Amino acid sequence: MNKNLKLLVSVSLFLCVSALSLVVASKDARATEKLNVLFIAADDMNCDLGAYGHPLVQTPNLDRLRKMGVRFDSAYCQQPLCGPSRASIMTGLRPDTLDMHTLKHELRQKNPNVVTLGQLFRNQGYYSARAGKIYHYGNPSMIGTDGNDDPATWDDRFNPIGIDRSQQEKITRYGTGQSKNKNLGISMAWWDPQSRDEEHTDGMVASKIVDLIKQKKDEPFFLAAGFFNPHCPYVAPRKYFDLYPLDKIGMPDLEAAKRDLEDVPAIAIQRDMRNWPYYFKGVTVDQARKCKQAYFATLSFVDAQVGRLLDALEENQLMDNTVIVFWSDHGYFLGEKGLWYKHKAFERSARMPLIIAAPGLSQGTHTTKPVELLDVYPTLADLCGLEPPANLEGQSLRPLLTDPIGKDWKKPAVTQIWHHRKAWGYSMRTDRYRFTEWLEGRAGRELYDHSNDPNEITNLANDPQHAQRVAELSSQLAKYVKMKPHKR
């Protein structure tokens, strides 16, 4: 072999080894690179979304997110009330374990040593920050404050306040007792100003998170965007109202709705029947229709803000190393069965949207397996390689993010209701059934077969043909009933 040929071979071998070393180094760098988390919360959002197949509601950005990850079609909260639901997802613990069932600010008072989700990431060198509502806030009364927040969760907290709060005297209210001075936290109320998105609190929340994405793109982050919509009062720029002409908004027939409730235990709807339908006295069907239009408008408004966050990740080349979670704290009634709001054990109140997009896992698919919000904490710890607290009560969703069919996923989803010491219950969702017991069965039971009754019209709990199934489900549910004696 001549000298030139030997030199050529030597150079070639050197280049090959160098290239291989670069590939290995690149793989090692990616393997050790920390995944970011973008944690997006909506308030009182049900599954009336285009991304969930709704024929009218336009949510192109949530559909965009769905195509990037997995849509959970049977995701359920631990309690359909903001405070305990949000405390549960942020700790991975059930309301009974936390001893939290109301809107009181008592997470650290009752659980001083709990390690919250953002705190776990913060302890592992992540920048942890939020803008808007993650823990409970009185909405809209606490907008612009820290609300019932947990300082240990975050490095930074941002509390914008928009015209939906600062100009709430312009909001239209329906129903008797809804005076201009009454708080709007529970209301049939709306406003459609000619305004820019960034004039509203949720627009400001999105802007702050976009800024933080740019600022923190070169370090690992856990960023939480807490949107206040679609919680009442239903306020959004008019362009979102224009998407939903009133003549396209359908309302359930009230006579049929009343019949739906005839076989339901009285305790299940005791709050709702005082001024049935629609919770407040004097609210007409047309006024409820207007509120439903406004609710749909706020859904599209939140969707637009989600789009801004996704754009920011793309513009900063962060899509390939960021886990994105979109969730709501519970579902919501919009006139079905003549009911409004949450705080009920029915499917429509317990179920909410959950979409997770994670690098390297399934994309553009969905799963029908029952999951719970408290599964999110162990999931994010798992995906990001962090060691979670040993006492978490959920399970990592990685198996369903890998294989959404989930043949081996057997865990049910359990939701509980607590009104007061003499009015509480537990509801369990399996692949096929929703089973509910009030006061451990003493105040009644409900059984709905979702294979042929998705709207929960017929309560089968007292049907002798289902007695064995009721007994089996009651036994299965019993192990989740862990309410402390002072709450009973």
* Mean pLDDT of the region 178-192: 85
Residue 41 has pLDDT above 90, yes or no: yes
Closest alpha carbon to 345 in 252, 437, 467: 437
Helix runs in 275-422, H state only = 285-315, 347-350, 376-383, 398-402
Q: What is the pLDDT of residue 179?
A: 65
Domain boundaries of the chain, sorted by first residue: 34-405
Rounded alpha-carbon distances, angstroms, from residue 230 to 45, 75, 84, 162, 337: 6, 18, 18, 15, 20
Beta-carbon count within 10 A of 431 CB: 14
Report how far residue 61's alpha carbon sits from residue 263's, in angstroms, rounded to the nearest whole number: 40
* Mean pLDDT of the region 136-164: 96
Residue 128 has pLDDT above 50, yes or no: yes
Could you say which of 47, 77, 82, 232 is catalytic? 82
Closest alpha carbon to 74 in 343, 409, 300, 472: 409
Rounded alpha-carbon distances, angstroms, from residue 193 to 164, 308, 486: 9, 21, 47
34-405 carries CATH number 3.40.720.10: yes
Give percent of the chain with pLDDT exceeding 90.
Answer: 92
Higher pLDDT, 3 or 231: 231
Strand partners, 447: 435
Report how far apart the first and last C-alpha atoms of the chain are (Å, whole number): 91
Assigned token pair, 138? 């009185």
Annotation says 82 is catalytic: yes
Report how far residue 62's alpha carbon sits from residue 309's, in angstroms, rounded to the nearest whole number: 11
Q: What is the pLDDT of residue 355?
A: 98
Q: How confident is the model at residue 24 (pLDDT cuts 50, 70, 90)?
A: very low
Give the model confidence (pLDDT) of 232-279 as tens digits. Answer: 999 999 999 999 999 999 999 999 999 999 999 999 999 999 999 999
Give the model confidence (pLDDT) of 323-369 as tens digits. Answer: 999 999 999 999 999 999 999 999 999 999 999 999 999 999 999 99
Give residue 280's Cα distance to chain centre.
26
Report how far residue 48's alpha carbon sits from residue 78's, in angstroms, rounded to the nearest whole number: 20
Give the model confidence (pLDDT) of 444-481 as tens digits. Answer: 999 999 999 999 999 999 999 999 999 999 999 999 99
Within 8 A by CB and 6+ apart from 125, the residues are: 34, 220
Report how far residue 266's alpha carbon sits from residue 62's, in angstroms, rounded to the nearest whole number: 37
Within 8 A by CB and 6+ apart from 478, the residues are: 440
Residue 11 has pLDDT above 50, yes or no: no
Q: What is the pLDDT of residue 33?
A: 80
Within 8 A by CB and 6+ apart from 409, the residues are: 369, 399, 400
Annotation says 466 is catalytic: no
Q: How high does pLDDT run on average in the chain? A: 94
Q: How confident is the model at residue 21 (pLDDT cuts 50, 70, 90)?
A: very low
Report how far residue 34's alpha carbon sits from residue 458's, in angstroms, rounded to the nearest whole number: 49
Q: Which long-range contacts (CB under 8 A, 24 or more apart) does 170-176 make?
A: 171/233, 171/235, 173/233, 174/280, 174/282, 174/283, 174/284, 174/287, 174/288, 174/290, 174/291, 175/275, 175/278, 175/279, 175/280, 175/281, 175/282, 175/283, 175/287, 176/280, 176/281, 176/282
Q: What is the pLDDT of residue 20?
A: 45
Could you say which of 47, 77, 101, 136 is catalytic? 136
Q: What is the pLDDT of residue 15?
A: 47
Residue 18 has pLDDT above 50, yes or no: no
